[in-house]
Amino acid sequence: MSKTRKILSIVLAVVMAFSVFSICAFADTDTATWTVEVTNTDGSALPASIPTGTIVKVTVKLQTNFYVGTVGLPVYFSEAFEYVDASKVQAEIYGAGATRFGFNDNFDAGTGYNAVMAVYVPNSGAAGVASPIYSTATTILTFNLEAVSEASAAEVKLDASKQKSASNIGGPFYCGSRATSDVNTDETTTGQAFNVPAATTIVIANAAATPVLSGIDTGYVDDVNGYVYGIPVGEDAADYFEVENGTFDVSGTATGETLTVYDSNDNVYATYTVIIFGDVDGSGDVTLLDEEIVYGGASGVDISDDVVFFAADVDASGDITLLDDEIVYGGASGLDVTVNPYV
């Protein structure tokens, strides 16, 4: 039996003794108000949804108008979460050295949930031990959980049905009440009003992974200009590219056509313009007409258009020159458009 389990067993035995000798009637004004907060580990608010692998911090606070006696605190959480080992911090309720702790990170929670169980008992033999009144919400327990699977509404909660009462004397959820701060006075563990918050629900949903488009063989992805090129004349552009975490399609294999990338949810992620070097008119081939366009702007094609200019500047000089014309002119009988001048 681990040290933690031994401590918990001792503490629970003490708790049972208290429950046997407790007076089971209190004033109606004895109220324990509980608060459960689930945040990022730095205390900041969680986003609308979190991916698996996220570590969250659970903080339980207590406010009372009576002197606090023995406390039993089971916190339940959906199986989409797992307790992070050694992450719990229990407050020194009755003072440092005056508080005896119990903690079980394998508390039986029933179907669909996991749970942790914290127990606090005053060490009556310690110097200065006294039961407190928490007039404001005070943190008594924190621990971390890791999101391990997707869930539309993963819960973290205190279960009011588990409260110790006259009709549920075995309930593990309780907050003993004392008449004074003296921890040696009689304690009642039933009868108070418990204000328990509704369950905190968290969406655990992995965002679609970002699509990544890359070239195959001579294919090249130019993310700066939004172009794809390096495709031989007459070849299918789809054979020169691949995408991870998504899909893509190409409207055609000619300068000015579009390659569209979709994410895993079939949403458009990015679009690229197809460039075939030397195919200035967008016919999908390199012909004398392309040379005429480069040479003198024939057929009304605007050589200053970014896409046309890029396709015409086959020597990657940044300008349209006689050399481009000569390359394109020669290309009518075999320009090597697989050459990528911009790399």
- 3-state secondary structure labels for all residues of 160-194: HHHECECCECCCCEEEEEECCCCCCCCEECCCCEE
Question: Which pLDDT value is given to residue 143?
Answer: 98
Fold of 3-204: Immunoglobulin-like (2.60.40)
Burial 316-342 (b: 16+ CB within 10 A, else e): eeeebeeebbebbbebeeebebbebee
Question: Which pLDDT value is given to residue 302?
Answer: 55
Question: Which pLDDT value is given to residue 325?
Answer: 61
Q: List pLDDT tens digits, range 170-197.
A: 999 999 999 899 988 888 766 689 999 9
pTM, full prediction: 0.59
Q: Domain coordinates of the chain in residue numbers?
A: 3-204, 212-331
Question: Which pLDDT value is given to residue 31?
Answer: 93
- Contacts (Cβ under 8 Å, ≥6 apart) of 194: 31, 32, 34, 160, 163, 173, 175
Question: Which pLDDT value is given to residue 304?
Answer: 61
Burial 123-153 (b: 16+ CB within 10 A, else e): eeeeeebebeebeebeebbbbbbbbeeebee
Question: Which pLDDT value is given to residue 324?
Answer: 58
Opening angle at CA 179, ends 178 and 184, nearest 5: 60
Backbone angles phi, psi at 258, to 5 degrees: -120, 135
Q: What are the structure tokens assigned to 235, written together?
A: 């070849």
Question: Which pLDDT value is given to residue 161?
Answer: 94
Which residues of the chain, if any, have pLDDT below 50? 1-8, 10-27, 297-300, 332-334
Question: Which pLDDT value is given to residue 20?
Answer: 38
Q: List pLDDT tens digits, range 47-60.
A: 999 999 999 999 99
d(Cα 18, Cα 20) in Å, to the nearest integer? 5
Question: Which pLDDT value is given to residue 26?
Answer: 41
Pairing between β-strand 268-274 and β-strand 258-263 as defined by DSSP bridges: antiparallel
- β-bridge partners, 270: 261
Question: Which pLDDT value is given to residue 328?
Answer: 63
Identify the CA nearest to 279 among candidates 234, 322, 343. 234
Identify the CA nearest to 144 among candidates 20, 253, 39, 56. 56
